Amino acid sequence: MNLIIDVGNTNVKLAVFREDNILRKDVVDLKQLLKHIDLLKAEYRPIKRAIISSVGKLNDEAINHIDKQYDLMLLNSHAKLPFKNLYATPNTLGIDRIALVSASVHKFPENNALIIDAGTCITYDFVSNKNEYLGGAISPGIRMRYTSLHNLTANLPLLDTEMPNAVTGNSTNASIHSGVINGVLKEIDGLIEDYALKYPDLTVILTGGDANFLSKQLKSSIFANSNFLLEGLNHILQFNSI
């Protein structure tokens, strides 16, 4: 069994895998991480290996605590990966994007694939059917767009995410919803169309916190998978344990 630990800025996602199958997934506050890991250890004693992906702040004390209990891998840009990384600046490639591409080559081998992660930012990552990662794009996520409109203007309100009723907003609030949500949908559909023109056999995967909200509104055919990053981390751990 493997323990997958994905550390964000405030919360941590943990998952227990048996081979490729996810047995459990939890989201905990960063302050509760070590206590929760001890609970998982008591419940899932067969866990032998663990991997940490951290874009947040995880101190050395916490890492050492986990390292004493498991055969631990800390994911970074120098790790052995199950794909060829052709990014011009590989050391700057986010570990979350590394995990997503790893999931893609495992789930959809020898496919031209575009992975879209709709979270704080919206990231686009393309991997070819030759198992080569070529790069992608980064743009502001939904909440970032709402927040920017509020913070960078004098009078626009901060709104909760809401699907617009029409393209033409007949109030300030309706106009903001239309601009943000339709803008994101048009952006995603447009980029998918651009890739599909070059790669007609393109596989598209949508993941991230806003994936469920967006998936039903997109014109393109996609695979929606909220656990894709965790699956990618698990595959990297397995790949490095061979």
Q: Judge whether 98 lies within some domain.
A: yes
* Active-site hit among 26, 38, 60, 96: 96
Q: What is the pLDDT of residues 42-56, one digit of tens each?
A: 999 899 999 999 876
- Please indicate, yes or no, whether residues 142 and 68 belong to a single structural domain of this protein: no
Q: 129: Cβ–Cβ under 8 A, 6 or more apart, which residues?
A: 110, 111, 112, 201
CA angle in degrees (0–180, nearest 5) for 147-150-154: 160
Domain that holds residue 159: 84-233
Catalytic-residue membership of 125? no
Edge-first strand order for the sheet with 113-118 is 84-85, 132-140, 121-127, 113-118, 203-207, 223-224
User: For the chain, how many structural domains are there in total?
Assistant: 2
Q: What is the pLDDT of residues 158-173, one digit of tens each?
A: 999 999 999 999 999 9
Q: What is the pLDDT of residues 1-52, one digit of tens each?
A: 999 999 987 789 999 999 999 999 999 998 899 999 999 989 998 999 999 9
**In the predicted structure, residue 122 carries a pLDDT above the cut 90:** yes
pLDDT at 142: 97
Q: Judge whether 239 lies within some domain.
A: no
CATH number at residue 219: 3.30.420.40
Residue where one domain finishes, among candidates 74, 109, 129? 74
Binding residues for substrate: 87, 94-97, 172
Tokens linked to 225: 């998978």
- Please indicate, yes or no, whether residues 214 and 106 belong to a single structural domain of this protein: yes
Binding residues for ATP: 6-13, 120
**In the predicted structure, residue 107 carries a pLDDT above the cut 90:** yes
Q: Over the chain, what is the mean pLDDT?
A: 94
Specify the DSSP class assigned to residue 179.
I
